[in-house]
Amino acid sequence: MYWLVLIISGVLEAVWATALSKSEGLTRLAPTVVFLTALAASMAGLAYAMRGLPVGTAYAVWVGIGAALTAGYAMWSGQEPVSVLRVFLLLGIVGCVIGLKVTH
């Protein structure tokens, strides 16, 4: 259960990071509400997951999922350039997250 909550929290990290970018400095209402809601849920999920997982593992997985999804979405939506090297490096982050789960 801790791992499932941690994965969902990592996805929500990507949601709040993207919403923060779209909020234009918290001046647009809808993205600001999405940011605040996703942020609270993401942090609560991370806190819950840390009850049963080591802090270093939980935090690394949370950040890795959030970073990979945020960067992947930015490339998919055209906000950031796409290159084979960038995709390869993001897959490396995903591989490391999977490795942390397998070795836990």
Segment 59-102, tens digit of pLDDT: 999 999 999 999 999 999 999 999 999 999 999 999 999 999 89
The answer to whether the pTM exceeds 0.85 is yes
pLDDT of residue 60: 95
Alpha carbons 6 and 17: distance in angstroms, whole number: 16
- For 85, the token pair is 């090297």
Alpha carbons 16 and 65: distance in angstroms, whole number: 13
Alpha carbons 80 and 83: distance in angstroms, whole number: 10
Alpha carbons 49 and 64: distance in angstroms, whole number: 15
pLDDT of residue 85: 96
User: Where are the chain's structural domains?
Assistant: 2-102
* pLDDT tens sequence across 11-46: 999 999 999 999 999 999 999 999 999 999 999 999
pLDDT of residue 4: 97
pLDDT of residue 104: 77
* pLDDT tens sequence across 41-52: 999 999 999 999
User: Which among 5, 4, 6 is positioned nearest to 58, based on CA atoms?
Assistant: 6
